[in-house]
Structure 1
Amino acid sequence: MNNNLNSYRFESCEMLGAFLASTPLVEETWRLCRRADADAQRSFVAQESGRVSYVAFSGVQAVARSRDMVELDEKVFGWFRRGVEGKGAVMVDAPLLQLFLSFYASLHFQQQISEVLKQSKSVVFGGHSVGGAIASLSALWLLSYIRTASPQHPISVLCITFGSPMLGNQSFSQAIIQERWDGNFCHVVAPHDLLPRLLSAPLASDMITTDEEKARLFNNALRKDEDEERCSYWPFGNYMFCSDKGAVCLDNATAILKFLYLTMAAASSPTCSVNYEDYVAKLSCHYLKMRSSTAHYDSSNEAGVAFALQTLGISSHQEAAATRCLDGARRVGWPRSLNNAKMAVSLGKINPCRAEIEWYKKYCDDCGDELGYYDAFKRRGASRREFKVNMNRLRLGRFWEQLIEKMETNQLTRDFHKLAKYVNASNFYKLLVEPLEIAEYYRTGKHREKGHYIQHGRERRFKMFDKWWGERVCGDEEATPRSKYANLTQDSCFWARVEEAICFIYDVVAEADAGRRLMLLHKIDEFEKYASGMVERMEVSVDVLAKNSSYNLFRQEWGELRAQLQLQLPPPSHFPRFQDGMVQ
């Protein structure tokens, strides 16, 4: 068992390194980076090779000396700029962001990317030195654009940088992992290159040449790298550490920080001007050598550790620390394939909780009180049956929260959120259990303390499952009209919309302001049309139509109010509409 475990520990990094070494991607990107460096300042070059487009940014840039970090521009990066829950705002280096925005605002850049999107299946962004940071932000912008503007766009995005400086904070790194984009970034780093290791030290506006300045920056970088807790800048994506003896890939941020320190401490002549030509040229040869050398070791983990230490020139007195660092990094995230299998087992174990809630829904739908699933749980008493259902609701919530935590801490495979098994299971869980979450929210009066559920009470996991479901590959069968009512209402927030509409009716009666009153009436009317459409399309469960359900209460109250006021409403074109369970 231990040998099997060890065999997986270098799987991700070895796969990425072997893939890049076996393709012309790194070599072509570096060649284009050299061209960009030779051109004018603030330039970039683009080239098409087959169905792959390369875009490389010049590393010869004037960058202001600054320690400032700012949030990403919402108009450019959209939803990605939002903070990661519990981690704070997503922040990036202000001068580097400003430099990228100067490219982004140019008509030439927009036209070039537009051509790439039309003609290519893949785009590789690259950059040397400061140009690498611009390449990273360009790749991030394009990934965000594809996700929001064209989620089904087939183009793939890869970013390869050479000696790029740190770019953002830990929330920035975590947000990229959360979106499963960490595999889209590979940063090639030489052992004696200062720029990737300066972290929060100020960037220079020109090349550093004096030995005194090199020594000062070298000592500053060592001090900051050694104490990772003080680092305001954080690695993201994959780092490929290169030397004359080979290359090693790492994807764990803590391990990357440690190895940035260890490899620099082993370097004899730190500099800010490194020629990556030799490293790139020897990359393929070194990976072939590494693969053939594994036969001399008992496991691929042992071979991987030995190769990493030899490649990076780690000194003997630092060998133990480096080995512990690598081993710890592998335990945190690996073996991901094995973790996937464990999650499948855990999903099977938690399924009885889901089955008991399904049984409870059927019981409520068939019950003579005609309350239905949602209202029966909302008005429940102290019965053992409802107590058990509530406990199952909480257990299922904990399971899915733990699954999301594992995914966001990079302990599961990068395509985990696209696996049909979990996309379907998470959506079924959302449709089955979120009505109970809504019922509990309004039953306990939280809407009076925090506001209505959708804006103020909805858990992040449900929003994430919306995104998973929206990004799935749809089949033709989903367009087929229904011939009977759905087993589960297809808008998991339907009951929250009902509760909100009922509150609007009560607000209309008490509202003195004519403008505010008209706005509330239009919102109620819009929901009534939305709900009627779902009923006509049979996208609701039978509990919605139960005689004593909250939805029927809404219809009665709304009918009485319309009759009382004899409403003649103008077309509500300027009010938000509902579609597919989401507010637009």
Structure 2
Amino acid sequence: MLGALLASSSLLARAWSQCMRANAGGSSFTLERCDDTVYVAFSGVQTGELGTHRLVPIGSGGHGLFSPLVGVEVDGSEPVLVHATFLHVFLALFCTNEFQKPQTTAIFDHLAEKFYSSPLLGNEALSRAVRRERWCVARPTSAMSDQEKAGLHALISMHIDAAATEQEISAATQQRSPYWPFGNYALCSAEGVVVFDNPLVVVRMLHSTFMTGSSIEEEHLSYGDLFATILENLLLKKRNAIEEAPESNFFAGISLALEASGIGNQDMGALKARRCLKMSKRMGCSPNLIGASLAIKLGKITPWRAQIEWYKASCDDDMGYYDSFKLRKFPKKDSRTNMNRHRLAKFWDDLIDMLQKNQLPHDFHKRGKWVNAAQFYKLLVEPLDIAEYYRVQMHKKKGHYLTQGRERRYQVFDRWWRDRKKNSYEGENSKRSKLAGLTQDSCFWAKVEMAKEWLEDARSTESDRVEMAQILENLKGFESYSKQMVERKEVSIDVLAPRSSYTLWVEEWKVLQSNLALQIAP
């Protein structure tokens, strides 16, 4: 259906025309404006001669241009990588006046030069990010001449074969390619057009069409004529006789897709291509159904969150729930709270994994219900994670929480909340009339723990002036930060509890300042 729609448009014919113009000219790309659309084509000759095939982080260029693609990147996760030369060419194109005008932009690479653009454009993290943002790449393929096939073999043999067979060999012997396809791919032949969006299916189908493609140069030269008649061929062609009736509409669709891709039933790799197409069938529920089921689960975990809220309220008048949980003042309540903390962490970790695997709707992380729920969870529960981290002395083994102990989910939720604030019209400077229900910086207590350590260091390093000066600067910085939080009423009442770590720190800091003033006084 999608292939027929693509074939009925002028997109394919215009793509071929533009790429031929790019090849004939001396520039690496060409632009043509038609009504409200700009068509950009890259030269297959120019790109085929490029000598560098290095992958670089996509965020290294564009000054935030690709921020949606790296929006869920966190420390320790696979970075989003892209072909260095392609990124350089695109940024040069992006700065042109024609590209900056408000219009639709269609970008094509030379249809035979598959090795320069996708699938050899970026890594799997880029593939997931592009699918999540619903960016589209239309990619027709063609028959190749002997010279083109030789160049293609030399450049992609170490990548496409590894990618195509990566799930068929054991993990111990797997040699995985760093490159991975993304977007929607249109495979064109005289028999029709078929479109794929499953990355693994794309790799294997490209591999199958590459192995079965003709090497007759005339076929490649007449490839442009195909686009002029592809719709007519699509409407008038007759399917080859099938010996047995298909078992279902799904298997009938597989036969049609195989035929449209130009792979005959007797061609080399036809059996693998058929198995590959069967694999493209979505297994399990759709993203929308999974999202709906998560909403039900969110309701089911609400009692766990409510119990933590009750625990917090019961500790506010003494030392606050952070210090109470850290010191395990109430073993029975602390144990129940700790269990609920782990349950909630499991729910949110599973949700993030599903989102990164594109099992949820593409805009799931932008929906207000989930952004607000994640933010509330972070503000309520992360102080307990910090308390546990320092209770078991992990800061002495790994380092402080902010640099070594923060869980990945909280970093993701920070990005969700920042993106929400960018797109909202709420007043940033609106003043609070009372203290916040939850401290608005979920890492506040981690900063308190660092400030407590600085106080200890200040008492033991009075003879080292250079080190002492740095410690005092850190302490003054935290004092300024915490005062602003309190003045703006962005802290919860537990922060100002009589025996909270913060209240005790303020008192000790005043004592240290008094002692230092006495030492300096003549």
Aligned to 2:20: 34
CA offset at residue 92 of structure 1? 5.2
SS of the residue corresponding to residue 331 of structure 1 reads coil
Which residue identity lines up with residue 415 of structure 1 in the other structure? D
Aligned to 2:31: 46
2:450 matched to 1:463?
A: no
Aligned to 1:209: 147
* Distance (whole Å) between structure 2 residues aligned to residue 286 and residue 373 of structure 1: 72
Counterpart mapping for 1:178-577 below 5 A: 178=129, 183-190=134-141, 192=143, 209=147, 224=162, 226-228=164-166, 229-232=174-177, 233-269=179-215, 277-278=224-225, 301=250, 304-316=253-265, 321-331=272-282, 335-365=286-316, 367=317, 370-381=318-329, 383-472=331-420, 473-476=423-426, 479-511=429-461, 512-566=463-517
CA offset at residue 441 of structure 1? 0.9
Normalised TM-score (structure 2): 0.80
Maintained 8 Å contact 1:226/1:258? yes
Maintained 8 Å contact 2:72/2:412? no
Greater C-alpha radius of gyration: 2
Which residue identity lines up with residue 31 of structure 2 in the other structure? A
* Distance (whole Å) between structure 2 residues aligned to residue 476 and residue 212 of structure 1: 59
CA RMSD, aligned part only?
4.1
* Distance (whole Å) between structure 2 residues aligned to residue 287 and residue 392 of structure 1: 59
Which residue identity lines up with residue 347 of structure 2 in the other structure? F
Maintained 8 Å contact 2:74/2:408? no
Which residue identity lines up with residue 257 of structure 2 in the other structure? A
Aligned to 2:61: 76
SS of the residue corresponding to residue 441 of structure 2 reads coil
Aligned to 1:128: 110
CA offset at residue 310 of structure 1? 2.6
Which residue identity lines up with residue 310 of structure 2 in the other structure? W
400 and 27 in structure 1: CA distance in 2 versus 1, 3 angstrom threshold: farther
* Distance (whole Å) between structure 1 residues aligned to residue 496 and residue 4 of structure 2: 58
The farther-off stretch of 512-521 and 69-78 is 69-78
SS of the residue corresponding to residue 437 of structure 2 reads coil
Q: Gapped runs of 5+ residues in structure 2?
A: 167-173, 238-244
SS of the residue corresponding to residue 108 of structure 2 reads strand
58 and 525 in structure 1: CA distance in 2 versus 1, 3 angstrom threshold: same
SS of the residue corresponding to residue 241 of structure 1 reads strand
* Distance (whole Å) between structure 1 residues aligned to residue 474 and residue 153 of structure 2: 66
Normalised TM-score (structure 1): 0.72
Which residue identity lines up with residue 481 of structure 2 in the other structure? Y
**1:459-502 Cα distance to aligned partner (Å, 9 max, x none):** 11111111111112313356532111111111111111111112
CA offset at residue 430 of structure 1? 1.0
Aligned to 2:46: 61
SS of the residue corresponding to residue 391 of structure 1 reads helix
* Distance (whole Å) between structure 2 residues aligned to residue 19 and residue 470 of structure 1: 39
Q: Gapped runs of 5+ residues in structure 1?
A: 1-13, 135-160, 194-206, 291-295, 570-584
- What percentage of aligned pairs have identical amino acids? 38
**1:332-365 Cα distance to aligned partner (Å, 9 max, x none):** 5862222222222222222222122122222222
Maintained 8 Å contact 2:23/2:44? yes
- Tell me how many residue pairs correspond in the alignment: 494
* Distance (whole Å) between structure 1 residues aligned to residue 366 and residue 193 of structure 2: 31
CA offset at residue 125 of structure 1? 3.4
Maintained 8 Å contact 2:115/2:152? no
